[in-house]
Amino acid sequence: MDTLWAPWRSSYVNAIGKSEENPEDKECVFCSAPNAARDIDRYIIHRGKMAFVILNLYPYSNGHLLVIPYQHVSDLSQLDSETHHEIMDLLVKGQAVLQQVYNPQGINIGANLGAAAGAGIDQHLHFHILPRWIADVNFMTAIGKTRVIPESLEESWEKIRAAW
């Protein structure tokens, strides 16, 4: 699916096919995110004890959050009980914050476990929280195969971070 406006994707798109590196040798983007000097640099909304909340760099809608355990695992069964509880608390908090900031008509919360389930980064477990509106999949998405994202990641980060 195309994106009508997503300038932050240009470095990603331009790098496709140019690296001879083994994907297994690359540092996990979710493991490296908490190392950012400033939270805005990686769009980190909240740092918890066992998990953190970050904006999705390639959102389906404004405010698309990810809840990510610090531990690099691919399956829920690999996390301890304390991490399970914190992740659930962050999902609940994320839902409340998105309701406050964007006033959506619905919210999707989920995880894609494994590449066959649709996980873009299947080596590191993560959960999505997406605000939704009736008819947000309009003609642009359905016919034009283009998604309209009207707000920059910086604007989303500022709004959500302030509400968190």
Catalytic residue list: 126
Do residues 28 and 72 lie in contact, with contact meaning Cβ atoms separated by under 8 Å?
yes
Tokens of 63: 């405010």
Q: What one-letter code names the amino acid at 91? A: L
Give the Cα-Cα-Cα angle 149, 150, 154 (nearest 5 degrees).
90
Q: What one-letter code names the amino acid at 131? A: P
Show Cβ contacts of residue 54 under 8 Å, excluding neighbours closer than 6 positions.
33, 42, 43, 44, 45, 65, 66, 68
Do residues 141 and 135 lie in contact, with contact meaning Cβ atoms separated by under 8 Å?
no
